[in-house]
Structure 1
Amino acid sequence: MVEHVLRLAATWTRWDGQPVHVDDRVYTPHKAVRRVADHMVDHLAELEARLAGRDTQPDHWHASATTTAADRAPFTAEDLDEARSRLTRLARIWADRLGALTDEQLDHSPGEGWTFRELALHVTESTYYADAVGDLSCYADAVGDLS
């Protein structure tokens, strides 16, 4: 999932500043990265709380319903580097955590909610946010490279 998101994000330095409207939401490159990272953090926190035998802490994200001023900022090469570092490290944490669990723990997870295997598969659906912005490499071909 993260590799897919970062492949798309590599084209976002060409973004023209116009938010993309998908379904009933608005997306920008920064918002897509924020939502992918938040989704990974949110469900990792759920997994860890359940393993520790604690109640999960409800999130208070505004999620994709809100587009902040920061979401509308230009997406630069430095932003791409930050996204690569952030998302790659989060993916490694997920992989390490899941790799330490037995099949029994993955499929018969403690606490309420999806099994940890289902939770991990759900997190992979975070590609939705990046797919909403899409591949902008063809945009540069139409109007000239803006990066």
Structure 2
Amino acid sequence: MSDEIPTTDDREPALVVSLMIDYVLDLAATWTTWDGHPVRAGDRIYTPHKAIRRVADHLIDHLAEVDARLAGNPTIPDRWHASASTTPGDLAPFTDQDLDEAKSRLTRLSQIWTNRLSALTLDQLDRSPGAGWTFRQIAFHLAGSAYYADAVGDLSAVGSDR
């Protein structure tokens, strides 16, 4: 994930976030066939659980930022670099139940982001209070969370020889 200022366009920010989540869930639907071998992406490794965790954490971290800035409060910096960490839970099999939980969690986060971004005026989206990217830029930055799911990929055609 990059810290460069995100490029935006005329798409609705809420749609940008919800489409990313839909994309991640489409890929996740193929992960119940995962063979248990982590996938290397650059200097990191990814698994289905880690990809879902990273997407959800990224959505939550920036939601906390947006809400704090709207309330005029300081933001709480993210001090844990979870993308570099792979937990024992990340290595667990990804089951139908895990997929159901991921769908539930990410669908709720999609709704929260849609509600939050849709309630903002154009001025709030483009001249957001506090320091940092505009809220529109944050939404477009969040679209990059698909990276974590792409690292695992589409496993629908993958056999046990991965």
Q: TM-score range by the shorter chain?
A: over 0.9
In 2, the alpha carbon distance for the partners of 1:42 and 1:76 equals 26
Following superposition, the deviation at residue 122 of structure 1 comes to 0.4
In the alignment, does 2:27 pair up with 1:8?
Answer: yes
Q: Equivalent of 1:25, from 37, 40, 44?
A: 44
Q: How many residues end up aligned between the 2 structures?
A: 142
Kindly indicate whether residue 84 of structure 2 is the aligned counterpart of residue 65 of structure 1: yes
Q: When the two structures are superposed, what TM-score results if normalisation uses the length of structure 1?
A: 0.94
1:78-101 Cα offsets, whole Å, 9 max, x none, are 000000000010011000000000
What's the secondary structure of 2:157's corresponding residue?
Answer: helix
2:73 corresponds to? 54
> What percent of counterpart residues are identical?
67
TM-score (norm. length: structure 2): 0.86
Where in structure 2 are the equivalents of 1:1-147 lying within 5 Å? 1-140=20-159, 143=160
Separation of aligned partners in 2, 1:62 and 1:56: 17
- Give CA-to-partner distance per residue, 1:102-125, whole Å, 9 cap, x none: 000000000000000000110111
What residue identity is the alignment partner of 2:104?
A: S
Q: In structure 1, how many angstroms separate the alpha carbons of the residues matched to 2:41 and 2:90? A: 15
Give unpaired runs (5+ residues) of structure 1: none
**C-alpha RMSD of the superposition:** 1.1
Secondary structure in 2 matching 1:109: coil
